[in-house]
Amino acid sequence: MTHNLVWFKRDLRSADHGPLRAALASGPTLALYCWEPSVWQAPDASSRQAEFVAECLHDLQHQCQLHGVVLHVAQGEVLPVLERLHGTHGLRAVYSHEETGNAITYARDRTVAAWLKAQGLPWHQSQQHGVVRGLKQRRTWLGQWRAHMQQPVVAPPPTAQPATPKAPAPSAAGGPPKGVSHVLPAPQRQRGGREAGLTVLQQFLQRGSAQYRGGISSPLSAPTACSRLSPYLAWGCLSMREVVQATERTLASCHAGDPRRAGLRSMLSRLHWHCHFIQKLESEPAIEWRNMHPGYNGLREADWQAHHFEALTQGRTGWPLVDACVAMLRHTGWLNFRMRAMLVSVAAYPLWLHWREVGWWLARQLVDYEPGIHWSQMQMQSGTTGINTTRVYNPIKQARDHDPQGQFVRHWLPVLRRVPDAWVFEPWRMPASVQQACGVRVGHDWPLPPVDLTQATRHAKARMHQRRAQPEVRAGKQAVLARHTANNGKPPARLTPRARRNTPPAAQTTFDF
């Protein structure tokens, strides 16, 4: 007897899973997840992500059992695993979702496609999220995204008799391969699995969305105001389509004065931009490792300062909000978007660090690492896209705006708890008498910043604007616009305030509201 094979990657669910439904409708079906060494030993992978995925697999195993499907969890590169399964069970066809991942998974998929073709085995790939493979014109993308989100959610396959043949359970197959970058466990990270994701979704729709519109920027309110769905979307415990449709249903049920309405509308916009940014990586995979606009090549590469990078990653920059964010990231594996953008901005401008190494470090910390969003945002916040306004976040101003009483800073940095309000965001300015009184000696108990923030930022912006003003850089902007914006390189038309309110966000480049 031959079998269909469902290959799970970043789609760890059975609901709204077209490949699983189609495979089961076509005949006996097996399921596979591979802990691939090449993927999990890459510099953007980490042990905390692997722990989350292991929990997802435990949940997925139970889901598959309900549908009479055995989930094979294997360690090893996927091609040898496919060869073994083909030899032992006889594969008829492979079913999976398309994946917009990093360069490693892209190359792996090409290798798998070649092998399947040589074996005469069809590979049925379905669209994942709202990302369109082979997109020719970016101006058509929004309509295709909407059409995909409006399609009915694929119902889970019917329950079935116990699956055969026997296969090792995820626990028996072990965890990720050796060599995964070890990141200290995050005690407060979210737990993996579809059931956990559904709980988070319902909590947001019923309660959290009321805080969403005004609460997502401050690191104080963001942990409860944000949807917290990002890891469940990144690893596919929930599908984008089912989240969009659940949000739309909840919005439609809200009465005129319901405090959730504004938050749900903003959430729908963000769900759209989730796919908007992943589409950039789908259309141009090289933005993972090279500047989106080649005119910015060589801008920072030769000026790498290892001690600046160490100060950032160790949470020892001396700028309290930056270091508090790093502490929270270590402890939770999550940070709200504005604070992520601030970290990248500080790295890119006053510390003048290239986005690549910083991006790898951040990716390893984040449980919700999504390559398409991550690398697009790393470049946008670093100013190397060539099409976005230079966006520089001052960590002192951000602290005063979003943590005015210093509660967030003091929570994550106990050493500053006795520092008076007047100095808590700039402790290096404390007079010696104040340092003595609060027991914080700058340069001993608290680090001095590696650079003067004002001068270093001013110098960085000048270098960036000097590069941006070069004729060849200005000329190259149109090619980037053509690849990654809906107007395909044409200057956007000026809109009246009323027209802006009524126009879909077809060229938004930030998640800040």
Note the pLDDT tens digit of each residue in 66-121: 999 999 999 999 999 999 999 999 999 999 999 999 999 999 999 999 999 999 99
- At 256 the three-state DSSP class reads coil
What confidence score (pLDDT) does residue 323 get? 98
414 pLDDT more than 70: yes
- Stronger pLDDT, 492 or 458, i.e. the higher one: 458
Cβ atoms 189, 335 nearer than 8 A: no
Q: How many CB atoms lie within 10 A of CB 184?
A: 11
What confidence score (pLDDT) does residue 492 get? 40
> Beta partners for 4?
29, 93
Cβ atoms 96, 109 nearer than 8 A: no
Residue 501: band (very low, low, confident or very high) from pLDDT cuts 50, 70, 90:
very low
CA 467 to chain CA centroid, Å, is 29
Cβ atoms 184, 332 nearer than 8 A: no
Residue 371: band (very low, low, confident or very high) from pLDDT cuts 50, 70, 90:
very high
Exposed, middle or buried by CB within 10 Å (0-12, 13-18, 19+), for 16? buried
What confidence score (pLDDT) does residue 157 get? 84
Cβ atoms 101, 40 nearer than 8 A: no
Q: How far apart are CA 285 and CA 281, in angstroms?
A: 5
What confidence score (pLDDT) does residue 487 get? 62
Pick from 197, 267, 274: nearest CA to 226: 267
What confidence score (pLDDT) does residue 165 get? 47
What confidence score (pLDDT) does residue 160 get? 62
Pick from 346, 391, 340: nearest CA to 368: 340
Q: How far apart are CA 171 and CA 143, in angstroms?
A: 43
- Stronger pLDDT, 185 or 216, i.e. the higher one: 216
What confidence score (pLDDT) does residue 181 get? 84
CB neighbour list of residue 245: distance below 8 Å, 6 or more residues apart? 149, 153
CB neighbour list of residue 140: distance below 8 Å, 6 or more residues apart? none
Q: How far apart are CA 113 and CA 108, in angstroms?
A: 9
In our burial notation (b when 16+ CB lie closer than 10 A, e otherwise), range 134-151 reads eeeebeebbebbeebbee
486 pLDDT more than 90: no
What is the DSSP secondary-structure string of 221-241?
THHHHS---HHHHHTTSS-HH
pLDDT digits (tens, 9 = 90+) for 1-26: 899 999 999 999 999 999 999 999 99
Q: How far apart are CA 22 and CA 4, in angstroms?
A: 10
What confidence score (pLDDT) does residue 161 get? 54
CA 488 to chain CA centroid, Å, is 25
CA distances from 99 to 111, 234, 246, 368 (A): 14, 11, 24, 16
What confidence score (pLDDT) does residue 88 get? 93
Residue 505: band (very low, low, confident or very high) from pLDDT cuts 50, 70, 90:
very low
CB neighbour list of residue 501: distance below 8 Å, 6 or more residues apart? none
Q: What angle do CA 147, 152, 158 make, to 5 degrees?
A: 150
Mean per-residue pLDDT for 331-354? 98
Q: How far apart are CA 59 and CA 157, in angstroms?
A: 16
Q: What is the DSSP letter of 105?
A: H
CA distances from 463 to 151, 298, 302, 353 (A): 48, 12, 14, 13
Backbone CA torsion sign across 99, 103, 108, 110: positive
Residue 499: band (very low, low, confident or very high) from pLDDT cuts 50, 70, 90:
very low
Range from 165-169, 183-187, 446-450, 484-488 carrying the lowest mean pLDDT: 165-169
Residue with tokens 């006053």: 350
- At 467 the three-state DSSP class reads helix
Mean per-residue pLDDT for 376-394? 94
167 pLDDT more than 70: no
- Stronger pLDDT, 494 or 124, i.e. the higher one: 124
Q: What is the DSSP letter of 208?
A: I
